[in-house]
Amino acid sequence: MGVRSIAVELWKRCVSLAGTSNTHRETGVTASNSTGPFQAERPSGSEDDGRKLTLLVYGQSLWMAVTLTLLFVLGLWSLRLYFVVSFIGLLINRLLFAPTRRSQRWWRVVSALTWLCFLGLSYLISLRMQAAVA
């Protein structure tokens, strides 16, 4: 399966999840399967937050797949550039799919990952500054 087909499939899933109406959620029909890896994380009554987690994961996966494809197509591939652009995607996805209750475990994990990425970005900036000074 190629990168393009993976990106198309992720895009279709994001669109289908975003288009799921409240009436489908009330009847129990959702776009994610009930045996998914994040099912145990959802407390009862927070289906909207669980749906946002799924959208966050799919959105970030789609962003990273499209970024990887574009960097290779444009001949700009480097691990540092891929990290920076993927981190920008993570920040955008955090803004788009933030849960209503921020005390959930998966949101704390995403926040910790974001802070680790900020540390990585700081390291890359310090390397760039050292190279500019030297």
Strands (E), 6-124: none
**Pair 46, 101: CB distance under 8 Å:** yes
Q: Is pLDDT of 24 > 80?
A: no
117: left (phi over 0), alpha (psi -120 to 50) or beta: alpha
Higher pLDDT, 134 or 59: 59
Instruction: Centre a 10 Å sphere on the Cβ of residue 49 and count the other Cβ atoms it contains.
Output: 21
Q: Is pLDDT of 19 > 70?
A: no
86-121 pLDDT tens trace: 999 999 999 998 888 777 888 999 999 999 999 999
Taking the model in full, what pTM does it have? 0.66
Pick from 90, 93, 99: which is nearest to 118 by CA?
90
Q: At 21, list the tokens.
A: 């109406």
Rounded to whole angstroms, the maximal C-alpha distance in the chain is 64
Q: What percent of the chain has pLDDT over 90?
A: 51
